[in-house]
Amino acid sequence: MSSAKPTATATRRPTFPSITACEVSEIKHNSIAADLDGTLLISRSSFPYFMLVAIEAGSLLRGLVLLLSFPIIVIAYLFISEALAIQMLIFISYSGLKIRDIELASRAVLPRFYAADVRAESWEVFDKCKRKVVVTANPTVMVEPFVREYLGGDKVLGTEIEVNPKTKRATGCKAGYMVHPHKSATPVPLDRLKSPIIFHDGRLVQLPTPLNALITYIWLPFGFALSLIRVYFNLPLPERIVRYTYPMLGINLVIRGTPPPPPSPGSPGNLYVCNHRTALDPIVIAIALGRKVSCVTYSVSRLSRFLSPIPAVSLTRDREADAARIKSLLQKGDLVVCPEGTTCREPYLLRFSALFAELSDRIVPVAMNLKQNMFHGTTVRGVKFWDPYFYFMNPRPTYEVTFLDRLPDEMTCKAGGKPSIEVANHVQKVLGGVLGFECTQLTRKDKYMLLGGNDGKVESMYNKK
């Protein structure tokens, strides 16, 4: 398969029939070779994906240079050659970067955007064949993780690969089809791909097409100034006041359900157990409650804990020491925990650690969700200190908090005699049902190994080679 080129011959009479003429049910070919841009993908432009590499593996400055170079690249493509335009994209996006950073961006950032652009009619044909080869003008390192993991491809032939005669014979097709550009092309539903998109990294929410990238860079200085106002204006204010200042600053806070009253003097506090969307979760819960609560954190800098408007206590990942610390905090008042141990952006819940279930019978599940249209407020490979600022840089961010009923005594460990794992799984299932999220057995280690090449522990993140 290949995309139709705008040549005089192609305009007069296509060399091959349209892909829509291929009878999927009658496909008997053992191998297939397909172009990427404009064939397997709806979009014919690879510029947004180079922009992602430039920003996520490089920096915002490199992305700006690439954006400013876009008119020159277009001129080179139209009047000189496609090869020169691709070489310019590669040079600006890749020059001086570490290969590890490029590989991580290609594995952690690009697949989410590629997956949303897979062309339905091309995928139907591609998926039916046994041996699948993708041919692209893009560098192999940029395309291969997505092709292998999500399209089930066997090989990627990129511009830097020298194709030998044996490979050509092995991947030759008995029939050829053109994929013609048309506005009604539809993407494949994400659940049809070989693997679901659960984990991904990167700061950008939208695909950085030239227009989206231009809007983002124009908004960037205003958004950063706005985020500083949103953070530091609310920082010294009581939580019961912040609930009303958020809307004044363009932050949409949605609160559902009725939380329990604060604990009476001398009685242990409530344990608010929530799914984890950003580092702001405990702070937003405190604002929704209108009073201070404590929280426990992993891998958070001292500066972040110092600036936190609520008490934030660091855990050690030593089970006995952490259990003692949590019990002590509960004796002083309410406490928020995120048993997923890390954030998840997609509509999935990671496996809940069962430690919280062993420490309290006053368990209140809290469902957290958010909406952001420009920047993600979480990161694996970036600097976590900037996470809240990136979230508040969105023009109109939304946080949704849903308080559920306190767990009945018969569903707890001490009063009901339930195993802690059963309680943790029950809370995960309840939260998943309210949010419409799918429960998984994946953990923070799975996330960090996929996106960052480490297990997510502080010592691993700072000592990686």
By three-state DSSP, how is residue 321 classified?
Answer: helix
- 151-160, 195-204, 256-265, 390-399: range with lowest mean pLDDT: 151-160
pLDDT in tens, 316-337: 878 888 899 999 999 999 999 9
Q: Report, as an integer, the average pLDDT of 13-31.
A: 57
By three-state DSSP, how is residue 289 classified?
Answer: helix
CA distances from 465 to 183, 287, 444, 459 (A): 46, 41, 20, 12
| Residue range(s) occupied by CATH 3.40.1130 in the chain | 210-462
Task: Give the model's pLDDT for residue 172.
Answer: 45
By three-state DSSP, how is residue 370 classified?
Answer: strand
The Cα–Cα gap between 261 and 263 comes to: 6
- Do residues 119 and 185 make contact, with C-beta atoms less than 8 angstroms apart? yes
Return the CA Rg of the chain: 25
- 1-10, 57-66, 272-281, 417-426: range with lowest mean pLDDT: 1-10
- Judged against a pLDDT cut of 80, whether residue 12 lies above it is answered with no
The Cα–Cα gap between 52 and 60 comes to: 10
Confidence label for 162 from pLDDT (cuts 50, 70 and 90): very low
- Judged against a pLDDT cut of 60, whether residue 13 lies above it is answered with no
Helix (H) or strand (E) run with residue 399 in it: strand 398-403
Q: Report, as an integer, the average pLDDT of 15-39.
A: 68
Distance of CA 103 to the CA centre of its chain: 16
Task: Give the model's pLDDT for residue 455.
Answer: 66
pLDDT in tens, 355-391: 999 999 999 999 999 999 999 999 998 888 999 999 9
Of the two residues 121 and 111, the one the predictor is more confident about is 111
CATH number at 210-462: 3.40.1130
Confidence label for 183 from pLDDT (cuts 50, 70 and 90): low
| Residue-averaged pLDDT of the chain | 87
Residues 410-434, buried b or exposed e (16+ Cβ, 10 A)? ebbbeeeebebeebbbbbbebbbeb
- Judged against a pLDDT cut of 50, whether residue 293 lies above it is answered with yes
Task: Give the model's pLDDT for residue 300.
Answer: 73
Confidence label for 66 from pLDDT (cuts 50, 70 and 90): very high
